[in-house]
Structure 1
């Protein structure tokens, strides 16, 4: 399932980087911290990939 906003993509990308060990888990905040705990690497990759064009900055 792809992200519905740019903010979701950004959070998923940060969580994916932490899950892969490319950044420290302690650097995560908010949604990305929860995503890292609850989603698999495959789910995060699917959420983080895709085009930014046409997506809103945030979704309520």
Structure 2
């Protein structure tokens, strides 16, 4: 499952770091905070490893619902 935006990819990377114990879970904010609890390490790796080229910074609201 590839990330749909740069922001989603960055949040997954932060959550993955916390899941691996490289950073503290208490330092997480926003989406990464919920990702670390609800996703497996393998799912986070898939999102975090997405190429950023051609991705928008954020997903437009019309695409976020689909």
Q: Please indicate the TM-score interval, normalised by the length of the shorter structure.
A: over 0.9
Gaps of 5+ in 1: none
* Equivalent position of 2:54 in the other structure: 54
Q: Size of the alignment, in residue pairs? A: 60
* Equivalent position of 2:10 in the other structure: 10
Gaps of 5+ in 2: 62-66
* Equivalent position of 1:19 in the other structure: 19
* Equivalent position of 2:64 in the other structure: none
Q: Using the alignment, how far apart are the partners of 1:51 and 1:7 within structure 2?
A: 12
Deviations 1:2-60 (A, max 9, x none): 10000000000000000000000000011000000000000000011021110000013
- TM-score, length-scaled by structure 2: 0.88
Runs of 4+ in 1 over 2 A off after TM superposition: none
- TM-score, length-scaled by structure 1: 0.97
* Equivalent position of 1:44 in the other structure: 44
